[in-house]
């Protein structure tokens, strides 16, 4: 009997299958420091114990995307070890703050699958949930991933594609943030004078700065999350693949774009919900990432006088500055250089 894990292929997944993922992970201050070193994120709530404590947090929570990546990484050996690409996200909710010292684990349920027309691959839909060791849910989201078949001659399955929400109800977004003492919110320390009322639907923000992808950094980041997907690590296998190079983990791009968004959205401190997301095109070491955001909606949250919600479209490009807000050439086709289209809710100080 084989002692190693070859990963699951498309045929191995069954609708309703529940997978408890291995290796709980205790988050440390070292993880937080390394995350900051990789992306340079500057949101004050996640950067300063003193700032966060004055608002009502126990201490500075870890970056929401660090929570996401750790939970995501738990799922990779069972869900996407044999992936061609991670395709998209929907229905994501951040449910509780995570602090250094918390231990995270993950469970996934297969909620859909559909074979591709080439007969060699298929798309698998999973809902993954992250937990603290005391059972507190911290994150819940759906993703879909293209996975290789073990044998292209195996018969096609009956397609099941789940219905997914177009957007998260903003009233379901406040649980991961305690009621904040806004008398202690300092715009100077937070890095921006612009609060909830200063953003309008339809407004577009060029985040100006660029960040070049480095081979060593994306390898280090993906190891930090214990993401074992072959397409990110194995150059020998990549030599015979479609691109001939290791792919940058899509979450690495999300974190880079989110960090860049501080310049223009400095008070939008908490990623509260993921409405949808698509990795439009691959990225590789040496590409320079830029980003821009569009305000899709604004919302009051019932019972919250401290924060409001902004629904934001975050678009990332490679080797293309965003002064002209590159997006789609038409309904189906993205402009050259666009690599990420990410729709999320952020909580911002009122």
Q: Are residues 146 and 290 in the same domain?
A: no
Mean pLDDT of 255-264: 98
| Range name among 51-55, 66-70, 241-245, 257-261 with the lowest pLDDT average | 241-245
326 lies in a domain? yes
Distance CA(51)–CA(60), nearest Å, equals 8
pLDDT, one tens digit per residue, over 112-122 is 999 998 999 99
Q: Are residues 3 and 55 in the same domain?
A: yes
Q: Are residues 37 and 122 in the same domain?
A: yes
Q: Are residues 202 and 270 in the same domain?
A: yes
Domain of 108, in residue numbers: 1-165
Mean pLDDT of 51-63: 97
Give the pLDDT score at 157. 87
Give the pLDDT score at 278. 93
What is the three-class DSSP state of 219?
A: helix
CATH of the domain at 267: 3.10.129.10
The residues with which 18 forms a beta bridge, in sequence order, are 109
Distance CA(289)–CA(98), nearest Å, equals 28
- Inform me whether the pLDDT recorded for 96 exceeds 80: yes
232 lies in a domain? no
Confidence band, pLDDT 50/70/90 cuts, at residue 20:
very high
148 lies in a domain? yes
Give the pLDDT score at 130. 98
Mean pLDDT of 117-140: 96
181 lies in a domain? no
Q: Are residues 66 and 201 in the same domain?
A: no
pLDDT, one tens digit per residue, over 298-342 is 999 999 999 999 999 999 999 999 999 999 999 889 999 999 999
pLDDT, one tens digit per residue, over 168-196 is 999 998 889 999 999 999 999 999 999 99
- Inform me whether the pLDDT recorded for 1 exceeds 80: no
Confidence band, pLDDT 50/70/90 cuts, at residue 136:
very high
- Total domain count, the chain: 2
Which of 165, 198, 232 is where one domain is finished?
Answer: 165
Q: Are residues 12 and 43 in the same domain?
A: yes
Per the prediction, the chain carries an average pLDDT of 94
Residue 290 CA: distances (Å) to CA of 44, 199, 260, 273, 278: 22, 21, 8, 22, 16
196 lies in a domain? yes
Q: Are residues 197 and 273 in the same domain?
A: yes
228 lies in a domain? no
Q: Are residues 338 and 199 in the same domain?
A: yes
Give the pLDDT score at 47. 97
Give me the percent of the chain exceeding a pLDDT of 70: 100
Q: Are residues 197 and 120 in the same domain?
A: no
Q: Are residues 204 and 257 in the same domain?
A: yes
Predicted TM-score (pTM) of the model is 0.95
176 lies in a domain? no
Three-state SS letters, 244-296: CCCCCCHHHHHHHHHHHCHHHHCCCCEEEEEEEEEECCCCCCCCEEEEEEEEE
Q: Which of 64-68, 161-165, 174-178 has the highest mean pLDDT?
A: 64-68
- Inform me whether the pLDDT recorded for 245 exceeds 90: no
Give the pLDDT score at 26. 98
DSSP annotation of 77: H
Mean pLDDT of 240-256: 90
Q: Are residues 119 and 264 in the same domain?
A: no
Q: Are residues 204 and 296 in the same domain?
A: yes
Give me the percent of the chain exceeding a pLDDT of 90: 83
5 lies in a domain? yes
């Amino acid at each position: 009997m084989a002692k190693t894990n070859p990963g699951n292929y498309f045929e191995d997944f069954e609708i309703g299958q529940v997978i408890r993922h291995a290796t709980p992970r205790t988050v440390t201050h070292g993880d937080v420091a390394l995350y900051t070193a990789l992306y340079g994120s500057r949101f004050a709530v996640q950067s300063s114990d003193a700032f966060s404590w004055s608002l009502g947090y126990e201490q500075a929570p870890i970056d929401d995307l660090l929570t996401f990546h750790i939970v995501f990484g738990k799922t990779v050996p069972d869900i996407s070890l044999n992936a061609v690409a991670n395709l998209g996200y929907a229905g994501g909710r951040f449910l509780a703050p995570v602090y250094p010292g918390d231990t995270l684990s993950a469970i996934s349920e297969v909620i859909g699958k559909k074979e591709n027309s080439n007969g060699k691959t298929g798309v698998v839909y999973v809902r993954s949930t992250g937990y603290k060791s005391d059972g507190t849910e911290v994150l819940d989201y759906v993703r879909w991933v293209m996975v290789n078949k073990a044998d292209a001659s195996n018969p096609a399955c009956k397609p099941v594609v789940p219905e997914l929400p177009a957007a998260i109800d903003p009233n379901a977004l406040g649980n991961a943030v305690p009621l904040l003492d806004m008398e202690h919110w300092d715009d100077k320390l937070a890095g921006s004078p612009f609060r909830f009322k200063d953003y309008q639907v339809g407004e577009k923000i060029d985040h100006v700065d660029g960040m070049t992808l480095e081979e060593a950094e994306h390898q280090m980041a993906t190891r930090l999350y214990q993401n074992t997907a072959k397409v990110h690590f194995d150059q020998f296998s990549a030599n015979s693949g479609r691109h001939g190079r290791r792919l940058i983990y899509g979450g690495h791009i999300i974190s880079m774009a989110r960090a860049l968004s501080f310049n223009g959205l400095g008070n939008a401190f908490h990623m509260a919900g993921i409405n949808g997301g698509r990795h439009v095109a691959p990225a590789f070491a040496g590409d320079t990432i830029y980003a821009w955001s569009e305000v899709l909606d604004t919302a009051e949250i019932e019972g919250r006088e401290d924060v409001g919600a902004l629904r934001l479209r975050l678009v990332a490009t490679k080797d293309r500055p965003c002064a002209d807000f590159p997006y789609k050439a038409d309904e189906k086709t993205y402009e050259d250089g666009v690599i990420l289209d990410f729709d999320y809710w952020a909580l911002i100080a009122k």
